[in-house]
Chain A
Amino acid sequence: EDQVTQSPEALRLQEGESSSLNCSYTVSGLRGLFWYRQDPGKGPEFLFTLYSAGEEKEKERLKATLTKKESFLHITAPKPEDSATYLCAYSGSARQLTFGSGTQLTVLP
């Protein structure tokens, strides 16, 4: 059965303390692996799309990587404004995205 699992569920970091969020997936025919950021009371905000194993994308303090079984979102020297829930999702043969349950990140000043 196709599925996506995110870990940890919650993560607290001190400002400047780098870490990684994990997204493990089992899906046949992966078309794309997506990362979103969601702030409280807001809709998910698109961050990255990864299409094939070995691909990496960066934006400011965030870098997303993809292997055949998982994706990582690396956060380098995070700031309090990076606090949010980070969602990963995949697209396969169906058009809709299948989402993980998210990692709630808190960055303390």
Chain B
Amino acid sequence: GAGVSQSPSNKVTEKGKDVELRCDPISGHTALYWYRQRLGQGLEFLIYFQGNSAPDKSGLPSDRFSAERTGESVSTLTIQRTQQEDSAVYLCASSLGDYSNQPQHFGDGTRLSIL
């Protein structure tokens, strides 16, 4: 079956512009996560969605970052007024249900470069 799909795969933009990143989770997966991976570093949690519950936004680094999810499907991560420190790979993952011991399955990410 299809895995987690992210688009675009690469995005280059100028400092100060807004960007929108998209994630299509695995069908039937109700939990969706966004992570950020800076070059040579581990993954940092950004935000978590589960069904119709309020999202866990505790990992968002600033108010320039926001995310939405339509039901139990597509999610978009928006970064406003981008800064050079936002350059990173943004990874989306999905998992079955609201169980913290379920494995998360990742997409290949969006590589964001801020000039």
Contact = CB atoms under 8 A, between A and B. Distances in A.
A84 to B, nearest CB: 14
Interface stretch (B12-20, B41-49, B71-79, B80-88): B41-49
B67 to A, nearest CB: 13
Given A46-B104, A95-B48, A100 B42 contact: yes
Interface residues of A, number: 26
A99 B43 contact: yes
Q: Secondary structure of the A side of the interface?
A: loop
Which of A36, A96, A100 is packed against the most chain B CB atoms within 10 Å?
A96
Contacts of B107: 43
A95 B108 contact: no
B112 interface: no
A42 B43 CA distance: 13
Interface of B: 4, 31, 33, 35, 41-43, 45, 48, 50, 56, 59, 91, 93, 98, 100-109
Interface of A: 31-32, 34, 36, 41-46, 49, 51, 87, 89, 91-102
